[in-house]
Amino acid sequence: LVEQLEHVRGKVEMGLRVIWDVANVFEYFVNLRPELRAARDTVGDIRQASRDQMIALGQLFEHALNEERDRLYEQVDAALEAHGIERRRGKTRNEREVMSVACLVERDALGDFDRVIGEIASGFDSNFTFDLNGPWAPASFTEVALEI
């Protein structure tokens, strides 16, 4: 416990959420991924599609969504690592969310952190929104195992 507290002394946790800022995430992916467009076109009228066709299309969409999330996370993660920022990847909460990342930042370096996030965000187009929140207590960077 003392080691963990020492590790986070003078640091705060900043949350970074990246979301797809598009009207319809499925349609965005249909335009991005030819295989998804072909599958959607094969299904045709959604109201007439069979349950199995809808499940298959949904699975293909979910696969494409997660592949793109992983690819984009690797891009952001590499940039954060290049700046020496410790981070933890969180779970996404909905289909619009690209990633959720907890970052451990020196309290005195919050301005630099904002600048780094701005640089990273500038490499993305207008289909993405970067949202910072915090500072918070660095809960994502400590673990306490209690035994009774």
The string of pLDDT tens digits covering residues 84-94 is 999 999 999 99
Q: What is the pLDDT of residues 14-69, one digit of tens each?
A: 999 999 999 999 999 999 999 999 999 988 777 788 889 899 999 999 999 999 99
pLDDT band, residue 129 (cuts 50/70/90): very high
For residue 97, CA distances in Å to 16, 70, 100, 101, 105 come to: 11, 12, 8, 11, 23
Instruction: Give me the CATH number covering residue 33.
Output: 3.30.70.260
Hey, how many other C-beta atoms are within 10 angstroms of the C-beta on 29? 20
Q: Which domain holds residue 136?
A: 2-141
Give the closest residue to 108 by CA, choosing from 11, 15, 13, 16. Answer: 11
| Sheet of strand 97-106: strand arrangement | 86-90, 97-106, 11-20, 128-136
How many structural domains compose the chain?
1
Assigned token pair, 40: 């959607």
> Which pLDDT does position 3 carry in this prediction?
85
Question: Using an 8 Å Cβ cutoff, are 7 and 141 in contact?
Answer: yes
CA-CA distance, 38 to 41, in Å (whole number)?
Answer: 5
Q: Is residue 146 part of a domain?
A: no
Q: Is residue 137 part of a domain?
A: yes
Q: Is residue 147 part of a domain?
A: no
Q: Is residue 87 part of a domain?
A: yes
